[in-house]
Structure 1
Amino acid sequence: MSGRLIYLMGPSGSGKDSLLEAARERLAERDCLIARRVITRSAEAVGEDAIGVTPTEFDQQEAAGSFALSWRANGLAYGIPRQIDDWLAAGQDVLVNGSRAYLPEARQLYPELIGVLLTVEAAVLRERLLRRGRESLAQIEQRLARNAQFDAASAERDGLHLLDNSVSIERARDNLLALIGASRTCA
């Protein structure tokens, strides 16, 4: 039996990286691996456990077919290493930190992917973005406006599972694990 691709999405600042770190050990117990993204952002940047590369290095890796998934957003390039295909073929579930805008392309490549949209209340999201300090106030407002376009109806229409991360990280982690477990029984 092949593994399942779990495609986690959410607005910048929604806590995807914190959630993944909180769930890492329990996911490993369930034979679910978390793929490290390759990003054209310094590896020393606060936040995600990613592999930082230059734009030139990214382009070279992409041209060489090193990525199973790759996209550009917010002035950065993101790639999911091709290694996930080996993990999936070996029957392991793989969780990736994806992009809402790239979801249609990801579904073409992995039609059975399980889409999970991390949501967070607008006030909580604003506070997290301000505290993080990566963007200007204008950029934060743009992110909040873009996030407001995604609602429960559009998520349901797109076949996504909604996961609220306005709650404690432990509760969000437990809800993620329950969602992954429930989708296993439905598969």
Structure 2
Amino acid sequence: MSGSQRIGPGTFVPVVGPSGAGKDTLIRLVADAFADHSGVRFARRLVTRPADSATEDHDSLSEAAFARMVGADDVALHWRAHGLGYAIPLIVDDWIAAGAVVIANLSRKAIPTVADRYSTVTVVNVTASPDILRARLEGRGRETGADIEERLTPVPITIPDGVELVEIVNDREPEAAARLLQGVVERHIREAVRQPAE
């Protein structure tokens, strides 16, 4: 899917960044702010791992179910990382086609696929210092020492042409970083309102 075939006119806002950066926390805070706004949607990931409600927000599925959905082209996006399968539900395409701003926690490696699938994409890269990332990963108690080291290994971020990148440092209180993410969403809402007149 490319060029004029990309899905629009809505905007996809992938929230990316290293494990422990606090992406799900920021997304939850922003979701609360837009709870009554029909033009803002939050896509829940499908992951081949049980959800830990304290630290992440996703729907779980088996490896077999993941393989079936991907094989049937029944997901909008999918990728694998850290031995797990991840996917974004196909309903996202309908939301974007209807003009919504859609926010989702995504892998950095999925950005090129997102840019090829949707006409307007703003990547929000959430980061934090290595010490804070390590403390958060150790605090959630989900990974072993080797897993933590793997997740702390820097991953380059590739931004395709025509894709906006917004950097958010989430080193302090999450409410401050969430306000920055909320500002990105609000800007796209304003642009969507202006679009018909242009």
Shift of 1:25: 1.8
Q: 2-side partners of 1:132 and 1:120: how far apart?
A: 16
Equivalent position amino acid for 1:120 in 2: A
1:160 is the counterpart of 2:165 = yes
Residue in 2 that maps onto 1:120: 128
Q: Would the aligned equivalents of 1:155 and 1:161 in 2 still touch at CA under 8 Å?
A: no
Equivalent position amino acid for 1:9 in 2: V
Q: 2-side partners of 1:5 and 1:25: how far apart?
A: 18
Q: Secondary structure at the match of 2:107?
A: coil
Q: 2-side partners of 1:164 and 1:155: how far apart?
A: 18
TM-score using structure 2 length: 0.82
Unaligned runs of 5+ in 2: 1-7, 193-198
Residue in 2 that maps onto 1:24: 31
Shift of 1:102: 1.6
Residue in 1 that maps onto 2:4: none
Residue in 1 that maps onto 2:181: 176
Give the strand-richer structure, 1 or 2: 2
Q: 2-side partners of 1:103 and 1:44: how far apart?
A: 25
Q: 1-side partners of 2:153 and 2:96: how far apart?
A: 36
Q: Which moved more, 1:126-135 or 1:174-183?
A: 174-183
Residue in 2 that maps onto 1:97: 105
Q: Secondary structure at the match of 1:25?
A: helix
Pair 133,100 (structure 1): closer, same or farther in 2 beyond 3 Å: same
Pair 156,57 (structure 1): closer, same or farther in 2 beyond 3 Å: closer
Q: 1-side partners of 2:125 and 2:52: how far apart?
A: 27
Shift of 1:181: 2.5
Q: Which moved more, 1:171-180 or 1:155-164?
A: 155-164
Q: Which moved more, 1:24-33 or 1:74-83?
A: 24-33
1:63 is the counterpart of 2:86 = no
Q: 1-side partners of 2:52 and 2:124: how far apart?
A: 27
1:110 is the counterpart of 2:118 = yes
Q: Would the aligned equivalents of 1:38 and 1:80 in 2 still touch at CA under 8 Å?
A: yes
1:77 is the counterpart of 2:85 = yes
Q: Secondary structure at the match of 1:167?
A: coil
Shift of 1:22: 1.3
Residue in 2 that maps onto 1:40: 48
| 1:64-113 Cα distance to aligned partner (Å, 9 max, x none) | 22211111111001110110111111221110111101211221112421
Percent of matched pairs sharing the same residue: 34
Aligned partner (choices 142, 164, 170) of residue 150 of structure 2: 142
| 1:112-141 Cα distance to aligned partner (Å, 9 max, x none) | 211110011111111001101111112212
Q: Would the aligned equivalents of 2:12 and 2:118 in 1 still touch at CA under 8 Å?
A: yes
Unaligned runs of 5+ in 1: none
Shift of 1:159: 4.2
| Superposed structure 1 runs of 4+ greater than 3 Å apart | 43-46, 154-159, 182-187
